[in-house]
Amino acid sequence: MADDHEKTPSGVSRREFLKISGIAATVPLVVPQVVEAAGEKVPVHGPGKVPMSFTINGKKYGAQLEPRVTLLDALRDSFDLTGTKRVCDRAECGACTVLLNNKPVYACTVLAIEAQRQPITTIESLSTGGKLHPIQTAFVEHDGQQCGFCTPGFVIACKAFLDKYPHPTAEQIRYHLNGNLCRCGTYKGIREVVAQMSGTKGA
Amino acid sequence: MRAFEYTSPTTRQQAVELLSGEAAVLAGGTDLLNLMKDDVLTPKRVVNIKEIHELNGVHYGPRGMQIGALTSLGDLADHPLVKQHYPAFADALVEAASQQIRNMATIGGNICQRPRCWYFRSGFGLTPKTPEGKSLVEAGDNRYHAILGNEGPALFVTPSSIVPAMIAYEARIRIAGPKGSREVALEKFFKTPQAEGEREHDLQANEIVTDIFLPPSAGGRYAHYEVRQKEAFDWPLALAAVALHMNGNTVRSARVVMGYVAPVPWVSEEAAQALVGKTVTDETAKTAGDAAVSQAKPLSHNGYKVQLARVAVKRAILQAAKGKAEGGEA
Amino acid sequence: MAEYKWPAPAERTLIGKRFSRVDGPAKASGRAKYSYDYNPKGLLFGKVLRCPYAHARVTSIDTSAAEKMPGVKAVQVVQKAGTEILWQGDDVVAVAAVDEPTAEDAIRAIQVKYDVLPHNVSDAEPPPGAGEGPPGPMSEDDLDDALSNQVPEAQVISRLQKDGVTFQVTDDMVKELKGYGVPDTVINALKAAPYHPEAANQQRPPYQKMAAQTLGDPDKGFASAEVTSEGVYGASVITHCCLETHGSAAEWPSSDHLFVHCSTQGVSGLPGQYAQALNIPAGNVRAHQDNIGGGFGSKFSPDRWGIATAQLSKSAGGKPVKYMLERDSELMTAGARPSAFARVKVGAKRDGTVVAWQSNSWGTGGPAGAGSPPIPYVFEIPNQRKQHTAVRTNQGPARAWRAPNHPQAAVITMCALDDLAYKLNMDPLEFFTKNLEIAGPRAPIYKEEFPIAADLMGWKQKWHPRGDKAEGPVKRGVGLSMHTWGGRGHAGDCMMTIHPDGSVDIKLGTQDLGTGTRTAILIVAGDSLGLPMNAFSLNIGDTMYPPDGGSGGSTTIGGVSSSTRRASLMALDQLFAKVAPALGAQPGDLEAKDGTVRVKGDHSKSLSWKQACAKLGAMPLSVTGKNPGPGNLINSGVGGVQMADVSVDTETGIVKVNKMVAVQDCGLIINVKLAESQCYGALIMGISYALYEEKILDPVTGRMLNPNMEFYRLAGLRDIPELVVHMMTDPMNDNRGVIGLGEPPVVSPGAAISNAVANAIGVRVPFIPLTPDRVLAALEQQQKAGA
């Protein structure tokens, strides 16, 4: 299939590089600056790069990042988890939806540094060993996707919604599935996905 | 986004001390990070207050509801006691933004969020000027700007779609600062800047909002009504929140609060007065709607908002009158 | 020799059935890779410093501080000092750095000074007489426009001789123009042109009046009309707002070989464009794309930023550099649909026969103005008088937007005709049906489609004369529109290789925009070879594969389905020749069906596909099917009808669509499921531009005020009503061959929704988007007129 990514002249992919270099283990220890506030010592990180560690899809990841790096950019640029998309970068469109502490959030508007120590779930975790999650299968069957760029965010948002409301009312669908925008116009298929998964007629 | 140093205090005292200098408070981040990405705010230090766990949570008792400022909009919207005792507030919460935003954004952050004015967001300030020193908003495209309270240089509109409902419930907020804490009525918290550099609310650089108090709502009838162009995730064009206290079939006292019409949440005494002593009918609601905008001075492109505000007030009143009273009283 | 035609309906195993897209699992799981996702080791991040002014001249650029910053690997001036910038957000300097934050810091460290020049961002109606004076000396941009818009040579020469130029003609410029193939006669005229430097910074009137067009005898036509209607109609500038922004990653595997991952609608067309700008042979440029996150007509060029990305990579020793536009740059610079407005007068006989049309139209496509939309649309009204004025603005450049100019033309025409129907006291369904005799070559299809659409909408029950008389502020109404499009398949090659082990690979340099191109190719190949769709290895999206046209104009499905069909039949011809002896038959007696190669009518003489392919011996067989080519596999020309049912809150001006119906033909349909998806998507996109979308420019600063997805509103899930799509799949359409579908269904929603609003509230809201302020203004005017 044409989806298979061609080997590029640059050789190894970012993911392979991370595996080879074991970057998490090689991060040098940077001692944060400590300031005193209200009689207690409080660490202050940055503005330069600081070591950070994350639990993403149950796996540990580490990188040296500046505090200004968003969770979205860390996922995509540092860990090659590119299923989470950057579209508006302003918490408006939903293409970067991930679960943080099992709740859907916009990764573009979470600092990576504050997402440490909280479980992060991305689209990559939903289909393991090539087997799609039933919601993903429903997206394929109902053609809830065209160009596919909004799709991973929509899949995560729908999953979180259906986990919270397994049998949603039309009103719940109206209120809770508006955080994701599609440009190709796939909402009809997505509504059918929700209807099928919840056994309802949809909104 | 420019580089900054980051710290994550665990007590409110630490937070207040760490906020010295060019610092910004990070709570939900849904507004702050956008402002930083757009270079509107360029703090040298970002103080994440989300680790101050005592600022999270909801307590309800005989004196009403206390809400920690870090409580997320989503948790509040889902809270059974919020739905039970403050349904108009719950309506405003669930209509706000999207499920993702509601999971991230905090109620304190919602109160403190900055105006959506497109000149402000492009770096022209809260009272933007043309090179000739005239009002940029008046000369430019002001279709979403203020129709009330717009006599001074500030022409933006207050951005929260939830605050008017909280004001209708007579909310108060507690603010922690270097000299301890203080409490203000939420409606008094907002100010109209008179010059560039002034803020749109009464929060000093080293203060944080810690709690919101909603008094018991027993006996009142409340409603929240938004006029939005899209039904999906969108900012309202105008909204109204209303509290009616009835004496039998007539209105004993009323509170009418409008959003998106003025630089501050606009409490309309005119509309409230128009209702006192009256039975709520289509006619009296309409009269109150007219009264609410009687002082409106639209700019060149936002005359239509007068009508939207009028209708929002009218419909909120009718909806409040139709709904059952809070706290079990009929 | 094979006969190049589609299999008969009864013979089809895959064509015309319903299949999910084959790349659906990759997309739904996040595995599908886009140019934005290209992430090789050592990747550098690009950023572009953009001009904050709508009209300015760059006076100086100082990049020294940025160059010294640690982590900055390359700095490239994109538009040098002296350049006139014509829209906000145009590229000035590009940098590449080790990570994105460093690149951002570098941009902030660059000092650029500008002479701010007067701008115009208004596309309001031109004043009387506008654009009639002499145009004045040509600027460099005027010349570029004239040359790239194929203005006749003689016209350019005469303009240069008469009006002169505002810039100095340098040797470099002459060399560059020669490189573009500009004829010597033009170059000589340019060299001799009078030089008027004083005119360079003068604000020229932004209007250009086009020659008036007449058809028939408009005066007589209107004289014979018993009823006339006059109105103003139009559509504001909107953007493409592709979710994957424009951009690319570029690297140089060797000093004269470029490799790009580019978000593009035309992979095969990229090398030539890069080669010209970078002065390397096109054969040294490789372009690759697995998936694209939306294009809608805006992604055919590498663009200034793409060339700069390649230059940055070169300066950085060939290392990969990726630069994707930020959302605000995307909305400011990467494409807009031109506006179009018109004052229209249209006349008819009392029986509803339309006899005369007159229009004064205008619109902007940014710095180049904009041509007239094709009005009157669809209807060949016998007597016409038309005048168009192009408005040059600093709104940013226009690009083709899904069905270029047709949605605007539909709004102007179908709304004007709907108003005429109202004046005639006719149901628009009856009125439009009555005039189908002048509805052009697709008239017969409209005749079939209107009753189907009316039935699906419940038009008879829902339609009422203008102005819903129901109680309360919310009024309901229905409206309709119709549209046409060409959609003939573009040129392209399909290479098919059958290996002796039975595996088959297919290579085309095409791209799948999310329209289902991959799926369509596999359906055609599978149906032709008697194999399932998963029997093939399909490779697209690379210039290493045979060239295929750009995906614009709804030409891809026709291009790839016909080249694939031809390749399949050619391959079978060759395979049958090898296999026939083993089956004791003539090659012409064989067929490939159900995974076998067998003798037609005698299935006992049969080999499995694998056994048959083993007869090839050691060498695979490889063929290239072409479009165009023998046989009538494709066609052009479609027609569609749409209807909308809306509710309008007359107190707030908020419009809500309750239901939309689309009835559409597109010849032979390869995959009904994805064809329907195109229509559903078009209706949704149509609702979005009809109600919400508008590129808002500030008159004072010239900036775009809504370069975000907050105030550049796209419809969300909650805004989308019941949608009904009916595809015309009868034998008459089937026999025409394959025709493209991407654009036609997006043409009508604006007009249909506007007409439904007029039906609901009893008054025309002239322009789309139908925002609350516009709806309330129309209602207020109606009230004033009534009082």
Going by pLDDT thresholds of 50, 70 and 90, the confidence category of residue C148 is low
- Residues from chain A that touch C26, judged by Cβ atoms under 8 A, are 1, 3, 148
- Model confidence at A6: pLDDT above 70: no
pLDDT at C159: 86
**Nearest by CB to A67, which of B5, B16, B99?**
B5
> In chain C, what percentage of residues exceed pLDDT 70?
99
Non-local CB neighbours of A116 within 8 Å, separated by 6+ positions: A52, A53, A54
Give the distance from residue A31's alpha carbon to the nearest chain C alpha carbon, in angstroms: 22
pLDDT by residue for chain B (330 residues), tens only, comes to 999 999 999 999 999 999 988 999 999 999 999 999 999 999 999 999 999 999 999 999 999 999 999 999 999 999 999 999 999 999 999 999 999 999 999 999 999 999 999 999 999 999 999 999 999 999 999 999 999 999 999 999 999 999 999 999 999 999 999 999 999 999 999 999 999 999 999 999 899 999 999 999 888 999 999 999 999 999 999 999 999 999 999 999 999 999 999 999 999 999 999 999 999 999 999 999 999 999 999 999 999 999 999 999 999 999 999 975 544 333
What mean pLDDT comes out for the span C517-540? 98
Closest Cα in chain B to A180:
B98
- Residues from chain C that touch A14, judged by Cβ atoms under 8 A, are 39-41, 43
pLDDT at A203: 46
pLDDT at B324: 57
Is there a contact between B16 and B208 (Cβ–Cβ < 8 Å)?
yes
Closest Cα in chain B to A44:
B7
- Residues from chain C that touch B302, judged by Cβ atoms under 8 A, are 773
Q: Which chains touch B (3 or more CB pairs under 8 A)?
A: A, C
pLDDT, mean over chain C: 95
Distance CA(C343)–CA(C362), nearest Å, equals: 9
Q: Which chains touch A (3 or more CB pairs under 8 A)?
A: B, C
- What is residue C230's DSSP assignment? E
- Match 């700069």 to its residue by tokens: C308
- Model confidence at C14: pLDDT above 80: yes
What mean pLDDT comes out for the span C86-100? 98
What mean pLDDT comes out for the span A60-77? 98
Closest Cα in chain A to C294:
A147
> In chain C, what percentage of residues exceed pLDDT 90?
88
- Residues from chain B that touch A96, judged by Cβ atoms under 8 A, are none
Residue C494 or residue A28, greater confidence: C494
| Phi, psi (rounded to 5 degrees) for C343 | -90, 125
Going by pLDDT thresholds of 50, 70 and 90, the confidence category of residue A12 is very low
- CB-based contact A147 C291, cutoff 8 Å: yes
Single-letter code of the amino acid located at C471: E
What mean pLDDT comes out for the span C151-174? 86
Q: Which of A114, A163, A164 to mutate to test the interface with B (most CBs of B within 10 A)?
A: A114
Task: Give the closest residue to C222 by CA, choosing from C350, C426, C383.
Answer: C383
Detail the DSSP E strand segments found in C540-637: 590-593, 596-599, 602-608, 621-627
Distance CA(B15)–CA(B23), nearest Å, equals: 11
Task: Give the closest residue to C14 by CA, choosing from C425, C614, C529.
Answer: C529
- Model confidence at C179: pLDDT above 90: no
The pTM of this model reads 0.94
pLDDT at C370: 80
Is there a contact between C756 and C689 (Cβ–Cβ < 8 Å)?
no
> Over the Cα atoms of chain C, what is R_g?
28
Q: Residue C658 class from Cβ within 10 Å (0-12 exposed, 13-18 middle, 19+ buried)?
A: middle
CA angle C156, C550, C27 (to 5 degrees): 145
- Residues from chain B that touch A109, judged by Cβ atoms under 8 A, are 29-30, 33-34, 104
Is there a contact between C23 and A148 (Cβ–Cβ < 8 Å)?
yes
- Model confidence at A9: pLDDT above 50: no
Closest Cα in chain B to C651:
B311
- Residues from chain C that touch B232, judged by Cβ atoms under 8 A, are 715-719
- Model confidence at C419: pLDDT above 70: yes
- CB-based contact A127 C259, cutoff 8 Å: no
Q: Dump pLDDT digits (tens) for C774-787.
A: 999 999 999 999 86
pLDDT at C177: 85
**CA-CA-CA-CA torsion sign (C40, C42, C47, C48):** negative
What mean pLDDT comes out for the span C334-349? 97
Closest Cα in chain A to B101:
A105
Q: Which of residues 655-684 of C touch A (CB under 8 A)?
A: 673-674, 677, 680-684
Distance CA(B161)–CA(B259), nearest Å, equals: 7
- Residues from chain B that touch C705, judged by Cβ atoms under 8 A, are 118-119, 122, 141
pLDDT at B323: 76
* Sheet of C56-62, strand order: C84-85, C56-62, C111-116
Going by pLDDT thresholds of 50, 70 and 90, the confidence category of residue C232 is very high
Q: Residue A129 class from Cβ within 10 Å (0-12 exposed, 13-18 middle, 19+ buried)?
A: exposed
- CB-based contact B130 C700, cutoff 8 Å: yes
pLDDT at B47: 98
- Residue A34 parent element (H or E): strand A33-37
Q: How far is CA B127 from the centre of its chain?
A: 20
- Total length of chain A: 203
- Model confidence at A17: pLDDT above 70: no
Q: Dump pLDDT digits (tens) for C261-295.
A: 999 999 999 999 999 999 999 999 999 999 999 99
Q: Which of residues 313-372 of C touch A (CB under 8 A)?
A: 320, 324, 326-327
pLDDT at C472: 95
In DSSP terms, which residues pair with C60 in a beta bridge?
A: C113
pLDDT at A174: 81
Lowest mean pLDDT across A163-177, B141-155, C330-344, C372-386: A163-177
Going by pLDDT thresholds of 50, 70 and 90, the confidence category of residue A110 is very high
